């Protein structure tokens, strides 16, 4: 593992993404709600560009005490990113598939040194 | 009636982020920062159940045992160390590619997908939000007559025209948001009814207009 | 450009470029040396409604043509094609739907041909069978005259304008106006010998259709005599009574595709069509594979108890089903052992045909077949293109492909 320089934090706006290539690896680096996240850009389904699609809040269906449904709502803070090929939806914070948490994109650590952002890869 | 507020309350059972977007102080306090590299509990449990050895998860990549267990679960019956498994590993390369060598390598930026245009806080927006907050706080105190009817009429007319003009230009957005004050179905029916009455429209005319303009 | 996500929040995505979107598919092609394998995609689509301005003038009846054209004129309020409910694009999550219009092409060739080249090249597909999208609902049109006119106009446009622009890389199975047996026969007689026509297709999204009615025998015979194939292409119909209790698109979609093929396949098999037209290749398209073992077991079970109801049959329903062909997509790769059993039950090595269904939301890449751990090399090559090469007489595009066709006993010339 080595620190690979990605860019300057001050130039990496919230909501922005970068898709970088390091050797054979393609990595999607997100800045979401202030934090950086980096995942393999190869979807675990059929290999699509997992990090290049829509980001969208997790959809929830809260149930009341009596088990009646309150309908569909967007979660207040949980964000997902979606592979544009087929809609495999991953949790922004963990890289896990939201329907089956065992399916998990390879996650890369991101470190910030001063204004510089590095991915450990 | 299911209100967005209720949805929020139920949702707070799930791990709530430590992101600044999270508004509730209670959920903020509950949120435990989770080490990035720590495997998710579900994954860990699955690995412990399936893996031949109870290998402890390292900081970075999953252990070989975890990989095997995961693939087995995923493929539902592919035997470990088989050619089939190797093929799957190859296919799922993103997650199970061999650890990359340590030395510095060239980082190539393939794409930079910018953040969307920020929500602009124009002076007019700030003023409008201030007035909305003023009305909300009055409502909360039960003060219903502080904003007099003629002011309400002016606000309703201006907002109606602004929303319709944007809609006509293709700028479609919901008129109410989940985060806003809880507007009930009754509120909406009363207000819509009053708006229709003000321009002498019957409900069936609204229905007809909507079916014509749906294209 | 921006897409709208939750609560009106905007998300920036790049404008659509199919080659770029499918760059990872191109990597799979290289890694797996797909250039050496003849790959035939037996079910791909375009959005023919984008070409209605060119298609509708081919309608024959002047009154119906005027109705159709005026419905599309500015301010027109008509609706020519039945359309269904649904959220194929998952609220924009499958970005190629909302971004479709943003993709740039030039004026030199049909736009669909140019887009076709891009995704076929990216996926390593040599030939695609082109089907329409909205017209898969044409069987729901209450007017059989309009159904005929639309099928006729599309058949003329696709064989005279669209396919000739694809450099031979696309072929089709023309949609039959099945509510009109005479019209269907006229279609077979008119278009059956045209270049790029591999057979005829019946949209199986129909609420009332009797595939075994005597009125159709002459249609099937005409197709069989020409050495062409017949296909049933499925789809969802959330608006039908059957699916009124589905409160999610997922349910109506998952069941709809399987259901309409189950329904018509049952009638086809039970009425002994396989016995009547033994040389007519029959394809079942876009319903996945999981329904087939279910139906085989179900029909065999009842047949053994009630053979008096289908005296034309000389073997079990599942035996007739094994004589037919199935396209692979959307392949349910969930339980590998169940999938392997399915492949065994349908004789996949000779009866399964790879299909992508691109650009629809649940498309499958050739690697979904290639990477299956239980397949022999011969099965891989057959399913991806060898069997389709024999069915549709599609020539190999290079020497390596030819050698592979020869090696696995599929080569029939070209």
Confidence of residue B70 (pLDDT cuts 50, 70, 90): low
Q: Chain A contact for B102, CB < 8 A?
A: yes
For residue B198, the model assigns a pLDDT of 92
∠ Cα A82 A87 A92 (to 5°):
25
Q: Is pLDDT at B152 greater than 80 in this prediction?
A: yes
Of A64 and B2, the structure prediction assigns the larger pLDDT to A64
The mean per-residue pLDDT over the stretch C341-370 comes to: 98
Of C18 and B136, the structure prediction assigns the larger pLDDT to C18
Confidence of residue B84 (pLDDT cuts 50, 70, 90): low
Is C25 in Cβ contact with A54 (below 8 Å)? no
Of C31 and B70, the structure prediction assigns the larger pLDDT to C31
Q: Is pLDDT at C148 greater than 90 in this prediction?
A: yes
For residue C132, the model assigns a pLDDT of 97
Q: Is pLDDT at A17 greater than 70 in this prediction?
A: yes
Query: What is the length of chain B?
Result: 215
For residue B169, the model assigns a pLDDT of 72
Confidence of residue C21 (pLDDT cuts 50, 70, 90): very high
Q: Chain C contact for B178, CB < 8 A?
A: yes
Is C11 in Cβ contact with A15 (below 8 Å)? yes
Least confident segment among B55-69, B113-127, B165-179, C212-226:
B55-69
Closest residue by Cα to residue A26 from A8, A43, A45, A7:
A43
Q: Is pLDDT at A9 greater than 60 in this prediction?
A: yes
Q: Is pLDDT at A119 greater than 80 in this prediction?
A: yes
What fold does the segment set A3-120 form as a domain? Rieske Iron-sulfur Protein (2.102.10)
CA distances from B50 to A22, A29, B63, C135, C263 (A): 33, 32, 13, 48, 41
The mean per-residue pLDDT over the stretch C230-242 comes to: 95
- Give the HSE-up count for residue C336: Cα atoms under 13 Å, Cβ half-sphere: 19
Least confident segment among A40-44, C33-37, C75-79, C384-388:
C75-79
For residue C137, the model assigns a pLDDT of 94
Rg (CA), chain B: 28
Confidence of residue C76 (pLDDT cuts 50, 70, 90): low
Is A52 in Cβ contact with C365 (below 8 Å)? no
Is C23 in Cβ contact with A53 (below 8 Å)? no
Rg (CA), chain A: 16
For residue C10, the model assigns a pLDDT of 81
Chain B neighbors of C341, CB-CB under 8 A: none
Sequence spans of domains, chain C: 37-81+112-407
Question: Which residues partner with C190 through β-bridges?
Answer: none
Ramachandran assignment for C402, one of left (phi > 0), alpha (psi -120 to 50 degrees), beta (any other)? alpha
- Residue A25: partners with Cβ closer than 8 Å, 6 or more residues away: A40, A121, B97, B100
Q: Is pLDDT at B57 greater than 60 in this prediction?
A: no
CATH class of the domain at C37-81+112-407: alpha beta
Is A57 in Cβ contact with C95 (below 8 Å)? no
Contact yes or no for A92/C366 (Cβ under 8 A): no
For residue A43, the model assigns a pLDDT of 97
Closest residue by Cα to residue C16 from C6, C3, C5, C28:
C3
Of B95 and B112, the structure prediction assigns the larger pLDDT to B112
For residue A36, the model assigns a pLDDT of 97
**Paired tokens of C349:** 């090595």
**Chains touching B (3+ CB pairs < 8 Å):** A, C
For residue B90, the model assigns a pLDDT of 59
Peptide bond into C359 cis (omega under 30): yes
SS3 content of chain A, % helix, strand, coil (to 5): 0, 55, 40
Q: Is pLDDT at C13 greater than 90 in this prediction?
A: no
**Paired tokens of B7:** 């949805």
For residue C7, the model assigns a pLDDT of 76
Chain C neighbors of B114, CB-CB under 8 A: 12
Give dist(CA C340, CA C351) in Å, integer.
14
The mean per-residue pLDDT over the stretch C47-59 comes to: 94
**N-term to C-term CA, chain C:** 45
- How far off is chain B from A89, nearest CA to CA, in Å? 15
The mean per-residue pLDDT over the stretch C369-378 comes to: 98
**Which spans in C56-143 are helix H?**
62-72, 111-123
For residue C78, the model assigns a pLDDT of 73
Residue carrying structure tokens 């995609």: C41
Minimum Cα–Cα distance from A57: chain C residue:
C6
For residue B102, the model assigns a pLDDT of 52
The mean per-residue pLDDT over the stretch B169-179 comes to: 72
**Paired tokens of A16:** 């922005």
Chain B neighbors of A44, CB-CB under 8 A: 92, 94-95
Is B117 in Cβ contact with C373 (below 8 Å)? no
Contact yes or no for C79/B212 (Cβ under 8 A): no
Q: Is pLDDT at C8 greater than 70 in this prediction?
A: yes
For residue B69, the model assigns a pLDDT of 61
**Chains touching A (3+ CB pairs < 8 Å):** B, C
Q: Chain B contact for A56, CB < 8 A?
A: no
Contact yes or no for C412/C389 (Cβ under 8 A): yes
**Paired tokens of C234:** 């499925």
- Residue B62: partners with Cβ closer than 8 Å, 6 or more residues away: B39, B47, B70, B96
Q: Chain C contact for B174, CB < 8 A?
A: yes
Mutation target among C5, C373, C374 for the B interface, most CBs of B within 10 A: C373
For residue B56, the model assigns a pLDDT of 43
Q: Tell me the three state secondary structure of residue B192.
A: helix
The mean per-residue pLDDT over the stretch C70-93 comes to: 83
| φ/ψ (deg, to 5) at A46 | -125, 15
- Per-residue pLDDT tens for B21-39? 334 444 433 434 443 344 4
- How far off is chain C from B3, nearest CA to CA, in Å? 15
Chain B neighbors of A17, CB-CB under 8 A: 111-113
CA C303 distance to own-chain centroid: 29
Q: Which B-chain residues 117-176 have CB contacts (< 8 A) with chain A?
A: none
Minimum Cα–Cα distance from C337: chain B residue:
B77
**Paired tokens of B122:** 């124009």
- Residue C202: partners with Cβ closer than 8 Å, 6 or more residues away: C139, C175, C176, C178, C209, C211, C230, C231, C232, C233, C264
Give dist(CA C28, CA B86) in Å, integer.
16
- As a whole number, the mean pLDDT across chain C is 95
Q: Chain C contact for B106, CB < 8 A?
A: no
Q: The sheet that has A3-8: what strands, in order across it?
A: A3-8, A116-120, A110-113
Q: Is pLDDT at C338 greater than 90 in this prediction?
A: yes
For residue B39, the model assigns a pLDDT of 43
Q: Is pLDDT at B52 greater than 60 in this prediction?
A: no
For residue C200, the model assigns a pLDDT of 98
- Rounded to two decimals, the ipTM of the complex is 0.95
Mutation target among B76, B82, B171 for the C interface, most CBs of C within 10 A: B76
Give dist(CA C258, CA C234) in Å, integer.
7
Contact yes or no for C365/C28 (Cβ under 8 A): yes
Chain B neighbors of A60, CB-CB under 8 A: 7, 10-11, 14
Is B46 in Cβ contact with A19 (below 8 Å)? no
**Paired tokens of A36:** 């950086």
For residue B44, the model assigns a pLDDT of 45
Q: Is pLDDT at C234 greater than 80 in this prediction?
A: yes
């Amino acid at each position: 593992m080595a620190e690979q320089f990605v860019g300057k934090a001050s130039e990496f706006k919230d909501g922005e993404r970068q898709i970088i290539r390091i050797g054979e690896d393609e990595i999607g680096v997100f800045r979401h709600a202030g934090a950086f996240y980096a995942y393999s850009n190869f979807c675990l389904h059929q290999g699509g560009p997992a990090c290049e699609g829509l980001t969208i809040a997790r959809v929830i269906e809260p149930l009341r005490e009596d088990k009646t449904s309150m309908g569909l709502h967007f979660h207040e803070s949980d964000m997902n990113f979606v592979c544009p090929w087929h809609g495999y939806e991953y949790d922004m914070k963990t890289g896990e598939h939201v329907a089956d948490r065992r399916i998990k994109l390879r996650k890369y650590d991101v470190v910030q040194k001063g204004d510089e952002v590095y991915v450990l890869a | 009636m299911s209100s967005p507020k209720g949805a929020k309350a139920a949702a707070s059972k799930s791990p709530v982020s430590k992101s600044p977007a999270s508004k509730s102080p209670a959920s903020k306090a509950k949120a435990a920062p989770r080490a990035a590299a720590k495997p998710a509990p579900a994954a860990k449990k699955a690995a412990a159940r399936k893996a031949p050895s109870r290998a402890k998860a390292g900081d970075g990549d999953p252990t070989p045992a975890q990989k095997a267990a995961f693939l087995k679960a995923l493929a539902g019956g592919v035997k470990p160390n088989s050619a089939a498994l190797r093929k799957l590993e190859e296919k799922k390369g993103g997650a199970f590619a061999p650890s990359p060598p340590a030395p510095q390598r060239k980082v190539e930026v393939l794409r930079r997908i910018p953040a969307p245009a920020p929500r602009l806080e124009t002076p007019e927006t700030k003023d409008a939000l201030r007035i909305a907050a003023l009305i909300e706080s009055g409502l909360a105190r039960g003060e219903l007559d502080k904003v007099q009817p003629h002011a309400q009429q002016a606000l309703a007319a201006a907002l109606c025209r602004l929303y319709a003009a944007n809609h006509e230009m293709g700028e479609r957005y919901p008129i109410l948001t989940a985060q806003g004050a809880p507007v009930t179905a009754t509120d909406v029916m009363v207000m819509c009814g009053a708006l229709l009455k003000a321009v002498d429209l019957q409900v069936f005319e609204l229905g007809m207009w909507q079916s014509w303009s749906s294209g | 450009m921006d897409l709208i996500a939750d609560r009106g929040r905007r998300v920036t995505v790049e404008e659509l470029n199919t080659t770029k979107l499918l760059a990872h598919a191109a990597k799979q092609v290289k890694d797996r040396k797909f250039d050496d394998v003849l790959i035939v995609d037996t079910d791909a689509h375009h959005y023919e409604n984008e070409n209605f301005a060119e298609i509708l003038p081919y309608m024959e009846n002047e009154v119906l043509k005027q109705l159709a054209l005026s419905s599309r004129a500015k301010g027109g309020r008509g609706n020519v094609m039945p359309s269904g409910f649904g959220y194929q694009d998952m609220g924009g999550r499958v970005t190629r739907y909302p971004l479709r219009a943003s993709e740039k092409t030039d004026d030199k060739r049909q736009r669909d041909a140019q887009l076709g080249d891009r995704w076929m090249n990216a996926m390593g597909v040599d030939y695609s069978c082109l089907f329409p999208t909205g017209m898969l609902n044409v069987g729901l049109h209450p007017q059989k005259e309009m159904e005929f006119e639309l099928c006729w106009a599309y058949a003329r446009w696709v064989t005279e304008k669209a396919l000739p622009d694809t450099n031979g890389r696309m072929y089709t199975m023309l949609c039959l106006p099945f509510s009109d047996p005479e019209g269907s026969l006229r279609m077979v007689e008119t278009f059956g010998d045209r270049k790029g026509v591999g057979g005829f297709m019946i949209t199986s999204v129909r609420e009332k259709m009797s595939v075994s009615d005597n009125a159709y025998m002459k249609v099937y015979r005409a197709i069989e005599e020409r050495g062409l194939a017949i296909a049933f292409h499925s789809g969802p119909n959330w608006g039908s009574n059957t699916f009124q209790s589905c409160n999610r698109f997922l349910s109506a979609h998952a069941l709809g595709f399987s259901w309409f093929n189950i329904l018509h396949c049952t009638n086809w098999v039970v009425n002994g069509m396989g016995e009547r037209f033994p040389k007519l290749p029959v394809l079942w398209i876009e319903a996945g594979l999981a329904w087939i073992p279910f139906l085989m077991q179900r029909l065999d079970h009842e047949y053994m108890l009630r053979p008096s109801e289908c005296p034309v049959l000389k073997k079990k329903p599942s035996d007739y089903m094994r004589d037919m062909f199935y396209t692979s997509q959307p392949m349910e790769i969930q339980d590998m052992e169940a999938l392997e059993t399915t492949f065994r039950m349908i004789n996949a090595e000779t009866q399964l045909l790879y299909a992508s269904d691109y650009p629809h939301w649940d498309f499958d890449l050739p690697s979904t077949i290639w990477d299956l751990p239980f397949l022999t090399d011969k099965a891989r090559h057959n399913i991806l293109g060898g069997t389709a090469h024999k069915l549709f007489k599609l020539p190999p595009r290079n020497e390596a492909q030819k050698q592979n066709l020869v090696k696995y006993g599929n080569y029939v010339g070209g």
